Homo-oligomer: A and B are copies of this chain.
């Protein structure tokens, strides 16, 4: 069993059961768990869907997920489905679409939190490079609170090629870069497709991607402590776009 095929934690399991996006093999529940409303809900959903659940010794769970974050529950499931970029572009060709590009982000908590904000902000896809950074693992799934099941995950060999494809297909490309001249709130995000690039925690966005960007934006700070967490930076920019869209439609 690979790391990609388990999820753990009550909320993540409930989300995956409700979304129906993933095939469940089996749900393992610690026989030490106190029954609460969430465990009850999981059992009920599993019964409805004909999914096996088993009560097991907590040591069994610790073997599968040794870092003690399983909260007494682990599900063995099919891996996240990745989508091809061309399929994605075609699927969303007729709607105003936002996609987020993660350029080599390494922290699974950050990737999970970004995906969670993306789903809340109506972002339709996440683009990850297949060779650098982290792909979707069980920490990403848990931190995303199940949001990985509500967004297209697009794995590409080359971010440069991906950005070129997006530009050919009428996407504007916006890079979050703290050296930028423009503030993130000076851009009009309405009535366009856009791709937002977020860079790795320390290195920032690669020069080759910055060069391809149509806009570079920074988040102005009130102090010299110029160091926002990347998932918080993504949330700030994405929800500026949500706000503009809400005001536009309202």
Q: Provide the A203-230 mask, 1 if CB < 8 A to any CB of B, else 0.
A: 0000000000000000111110111110
With both chains docked as a complex, state the minimum distance between the C-beta of A205 and any C-beta of chain B, in angstroms: 19
A229 x B231 contact (CB < 8 A)? yes
Instruction: Considering the complex, give the chain B residue whose CB is closest to the CB of A123.
Output: B222
Contact residues in B for A235 (Cβ distance below 8 Å): 228-229, 232-233, 235-236
Are B229 and A116 neighbours in the complex by a CB distance under 8 Å? yes
CB distance from A51 to the nearest CB of B (A): 22
Query: Is A77 interfacial (CB 8 A cutoff)?
Result: no
- Cβ of A239 within 8 Å of any chain B Cβ, yes or no, is yes
A183 / chain B contacts, CB cutoff of 8 Å? 243, 246
CB-based contact B232/A116 at 8 Å: yes
- Chain A, 112-149, contact with B by CB distance < 8 Å: what is the 0/1 string? 01001101111000000000000000000001010100
- State whether the Cβ of A172 lies closer than 8 Å to any Cβ in chain B: no
A67-B67, A116-B232, A121-B223 known; 5 new pairs, CB 8 Å cut-off, are A120-B226, A122-B223, A150-B223, A219-B239, A235-B236
